[in-house]
Amino acid sequence: MNILVTGATRGIGKAIAQNLDGTIFAVGRSEELLKTYENYLVCDLSDKNDLERLGEYIQENKIDILVNNAGEYIYSPIEDIEYDKLEHIMKVNLISPLYLISKAVPYMKSKKWGRIINIGSISGVMGEACASLYSASKAGLIGGTKALALELAEYNITVNTINPGWVDTEMGNSSANDGEWTKEEVIECIPQKRFVSPKEVAGMVKYLISEEAKGVTGQSINLCAGLSVGF
């Protein structure tokens, strides 16, 4: 199986790429970090030319499994948001995954098999104050997942979103520190009193691309140590 993972240089994406069986095609912005993979492409998902080049790369390499993991987070009151930031986060978190799916689907349809996994966020399910752009982009990804699951079901292509809560990654830890609370205070608000590990997300991806999960499609799966249930 040919598996393409965006944002594969660190955190969740790296854990996913390292824990799946198949030929991995890694995508990221740092060539130095990507060199650990045999197959890779340097790409800035917010850049239209780079995104189109990645679309061609997907078609050339006949991708069976697409994992849209790359994403960016902005913590800011809405009145401080500038247009450029709004445009940037929507390009990275919502526009690029949908565009890449459009390029992967023709081959999947021809085989009558495919797996598409989008990495969303619990913020797209519940909302997060002062992270409205991030929450909106991830909520859009969840909506797109449901619609695409219906559109592609007859071709044996499944589409699902995994919504991590706080994850023990560089981005997760810096996001915790960017807010009004310390990491320790954030942990106190999580029912299991811990951050999710990247390997847990990778394990969920591994299950969703398996034949055992062929009936799971259009789902928005919260992997958040109980955060979505309440306090």
Question: What is the CB neighbour count within 10 angstroms for residue 90?
Answer: 16
Angle at which helices 11-19 and 198-208 cross, to 10°: 50
Catalytic site residues?
Answer: 134
The token pair at 110 is 């021809």
Q: Is there a contact between 27 and 40 (Cβ–Cβ < 8 Å)?
A: yes
**Dihedral over Cα of 31, 34, 40, 46: its sign:** negative
DSSP state of 8: T
Amino acid at 31: E
CB 191: neighbour CB atoms within 10 A?
A: 14
**What token pair was written down for 170?**
């560089």
Q: Which amino acid is at 52?
A: E
Neighbouring C-beta atoms of residue 12, cutoff 10 Å: 30
